[in-house]
């Protein structure tokens, strides 16, 4: 028989949580992150500890340093996937994720910051676990892509957010309408394109949507499950229309070969 997961004291949990906000990447992205993920995933935390950790993570989303905010979102994703959630968690997370301005992926001095990618992991966790249509998570993804920015993502943020969208689109409670309606703001922005350099937010959006389009026809692996996008034909058609408005020279909408 397997041994039950070893429990952890409240003092030890507080130390790990404090280290998760460390400006030293070897502390933050080393023992703290790995140990907290292990504790959450193994079920070693008591119900009271899970509730306390979740409340503290919500508060951490307003921390003055981006790495503290970002790594809080990463642990939040593990809590949500483990079945822990409160009604106010997603609204608080969404307020942070849509508005986060520091979108540097990797810093040579501060290590991984990765707010877009870590937030994408939390977004996918919410979108996958919701027992109702996860349209709100899809709307948040669109808002994150279109958030004004001067930074073009370079550290696979588009892959992580695209995958999170695809995971959300795999929620079996998703309606066909909700599977495509979230794309409308993107279509509107792309259609307003003008000659000249492509805005960073549009470039980020295009590359993220291409990832989702790629995943419409494949089986994905997520948290031990094989999953596929719901209403994949309608989703792919919608994505092709949106992307065509940004690059009409690339293909004909009537062509699939």
Q: Residue 72: name the closest of 97, 103, 106 by CA.
A: 97
d(CA 15, CA 36): 11
Identify the pLDDT of residue 2. 55
Count other C-beta atoms under 10 Å from residue 32's C-beta.
21
Identify the pLDDT of residue 4. 61
Identify the pLDDT of residue 200. 96
Cα dihedral 184→187→188→192 (10° resolution): 180
- Answer whether 0.85 is exceeded by the pTM: yes
Identify the pLDDT of residue 252. 81
Domain boundaries, the chain: 1-99, 117-257
pLDDT per position in the chain (257 positions), as tens? Answer: 455 667 889 999 999 999 999 999 999 998 899 999 999 999 999 999 999 999 999 999 999 999 999 999 999 999 999 999 999 999 999 999 999 999 999 999 999 999 999 999 999 999 999 998 899 999 999 999 999 999 999 999 999 999 999 999 999 999 999 999 999 999 999 988 778 889 999 999 999 999 999 999 999 999 999 999 999 999 999 999 999 998 888 888 875 55
Q: State how far the alpha carbon of 103 is from the alpha carbons of 62, 134, 159, 226, in Å.
A: 15, 25, 15, 31
Cα 30 to the center of its chain, rounded Å:
21
56 by DSSP, 3-state: which? Answer: helix
């Amino acid at each position: 028989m397997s041994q039950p997961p070893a429990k952890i004291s409240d003092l030890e949990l507080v130390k790990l949580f404090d280290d998760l906000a460390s400006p030293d990447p070897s502390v933050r992205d080393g023992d703290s992150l790995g140990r907290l993920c292990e504790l959450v995933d193994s079920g070693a935390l008591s119900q009271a500890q899970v509730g306390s950790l979740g409340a503290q993570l919500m508060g951490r989303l307003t921390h003055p340093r981006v790495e503290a905010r970002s790594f809080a979102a990463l642990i939040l994703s593990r809590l949500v996937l483990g079945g822990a959630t409160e009604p106010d968690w997603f609204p608080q997370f969404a307020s942070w994720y849509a508005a986060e301005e520091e979108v540097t992926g990797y810093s040579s001095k501060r290590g991984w910051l990765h707010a877009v990618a870590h937030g994408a992991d939390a977004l996918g966790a919410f979108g996958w676990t919701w027992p109702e249509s996860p349209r709100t998570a899809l709307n948040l993804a669109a808002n994150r892509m279109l958030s004004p920015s001067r930074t073009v993502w370079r550290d696979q943020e588009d892959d992580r957010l695209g995958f999170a969208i695809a995971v959300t689109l795999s929620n079996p409670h998703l309606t066909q309408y909700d599977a495509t309606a979230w794309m409308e703001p993107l279509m509107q922005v792309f259609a307003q394109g003008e000659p000249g350099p492509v805005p960073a937010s549009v470039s980020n959006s295009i590359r993220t949507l291409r990832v989702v389009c790629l995943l419409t026809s494949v089986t994905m692996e997520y948290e031990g499950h094989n999953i596929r996008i719901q209403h994949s034909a309608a989703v792919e058609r919608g994505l092709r229309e949106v992307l065509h408005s940004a690059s009409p020279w690339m293909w004909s909408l009537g062509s699939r070969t």
